[in-house]
Structure 1
Amino acid sequence: MEDVSSLAQELKAHLPWHQARIIFLAQFILALIRARSCNLCRVAEEFQSKALEDSSYRRIKRFFSGYTYCYEQLGRLILHWLSLTTYTLCMDRTNWKFGSHHVNYLVVSIAWQGAAIPIAWVCLDKSGGNSNTAERIAIMKRVLALIPADKIDELLADREFVGRDWFKWLDEQGIICRLRIKEDTPVLGSCGKDINAKQLFRNVKLNQTETWFTKRKVSGVCLYIAARRTIKGLLIVVATKKPETMIEDYYKRWSIETLFGCLKSRGFDLESTHMTELDRMDKLMGVLALAFAWCLIAGHWKYGEAEGLPLNKHWRPAKSLFRLGLDMLRRVLKNGCSKSDQIDFQILLKVLSRT
């Protein structure tokens, strides 16, 4: 129980919750890390408590069904842990089915060290479909309540997140975006007529990038555009208000795909939860965001920059900083570290408080 009390003390310094809720949150985060699963039965098995497993399971169910908390408070805690001066944001969706029920998350995250940490999220009330402009604007307003627009370096998003009203709203907020557009998106050509983006960049060769440094109308908004054809022939077209290094910056968007992979099969097995109610899924993502941030920060503290990780024969790190941090925390919580790896729980906790 000492681990629970120590983590609860760190959380209490930033979350104005009742002490019983703080202790539960600390219990759940630690059990989640030990279990490496979002299946609530498995999480209950890992609770450090004198109560029976069934009692812990009922306690978890009461939290998700009856307790309401402010997600902005969790966002501010994550920002405190990161202590960054500016932020690169990624927006994307992830969805899956549990039985006949669809779970469909829209997430805005902070790209950092090869991964992305959720800062705002919502479980959409739709069957795996795309988000609309109103939903994107609503979640970005939540982000702007946490991070001023002048602290946002750029917003990265894939081809789903396009549209005239969406582009105009981002421009009005002063948010620099790097948004991939579809190949058949109409772009105002030099002759004054609309042509497809694919036609505009038809001469781009494999592994080559071309940038237009004159603005062109994309969905009715004047933007710079650039394209890169990958080694496999895929054409990636990006629109932005700031043309420098636009393609290279857009590639950082992959960090949110890393996040989704780590929340699912490579980390916390999110799809194993049997919950489908929207409000309960939102609460679960909040707890996952804290646990994920801790693992990533711990991995960075122990192993350094993501770019410095040794690569395997496929030129990728064998494990991400998140996975390295998760494995380290689990060793400390479950078995203790070996003599050659003398790290205890209090040190990993101080990594968060920067002391």
Structure 2
Amino acid sequence: MTRNRLTSQPFRHLQDRIATGLITAGGMGVLLAVLGIGVFLVWEAMPLLLSGNTNALTRLSPLAWGTLKAALMALLFALPLALGAAFYSGFFMSRQLHSRIKPTLEMMEAIPGVVIGFIAGLIFAPWVERHLASTLVLLIWLPLSMGLAGLLWHLASRRWQRRLPLSWAALWLIPWLIAMFMVALWLTPLVEQAWWGGDLRQRLYLWFGLDYVTRNALIVGLAMGFAVIPSIYSLAEDALTEVPRSLMEGAQALGASRWQAAMKVALPAAWPGLFSATMIGAGRAVGETMIVLLASSNTALLSASPFEGMRTMAAAIAIELPEASAGGTPYRMLVLAALVLFLFTFLVNTLAEVVRQRLRRRYHRIGGAS
């Protein structure tokens, strides 16, 4: 038996070396592929950059503005929800509920963008057009109703606080939000009639010159925000839960409440991870294609209005590249747009990874010191 073990050890070493070599070769292959893509895009876009054709470059400005506009609208919707959910689930949610909620939210990331764009463009966008006032009231009223629920819980007696524990608020808030949703829909016609003369769209056009398009930046922002929430939430929640518990326990031992310890100790310690999650969500929003194609009007406009359409670089590449002849000016412009997206995504992901590694080293030092 000892002889069999001795003879099997060289074979195991050979297997380890083969596995290590395959993993190394795979990693090098990925790096070479990324480098090759970058070199190809630079080579194809170089003639346009060296030609001095400023007219062709200015045609990209509406696409760049549309890309930033869509990403900004998505982050305005996604960041409060994702970071708030990560903060609550990381410090206040019960472990039993956390073990079910977090995998469910992370599974949302598997929903294809084409499905989200289809629902947003064909179902959600017409509903918002018919109920624009209700949509705007809901976007304002639902966050306020969450704050109202927290205030009522804080003012409630100990008996009701024990019946409705904060660790299970993710469940008992659902009926409250449904009730607030119905109240907002019931009150919106009265508010619209009293404040906007019964037609909000007409008032927006008369007061601010804002024209409403069915598929606009607001629809894209809500749909794309829904798509990037899982990735931001998962990374932010991991960053918050990786904060050494010794920091929280030390703050609470000095007299701080759990809320004070989370806000003043854990949150500043985890900010690099939260920044990394935000950057990765921004990179996902900038590179999204199908949601923009299906949920926007795909019109290249330099407009800051959330009720007008836009065209992003990714959408322009998907639409125009099949019809662009290789070597022509439109082809070079699309390649340049792809190069800009490539550089932005590469830099954002690199920055996020550097910040994440820095956060891990900081936690490791804190954990070793404790």
Choose between structure 1 and 2 for higher RCO, CA contacts under 8 A separated by at least 6 residues.
Answer: 2
> Greater strand percent: which structure?
1
> Greater helix percent: which structure?
2
Q: TM-score, normalised by structure 1?
A: 0.26
Larger Rg: 2
Q: TM-score, normalised by structure 2?
A: 0.25
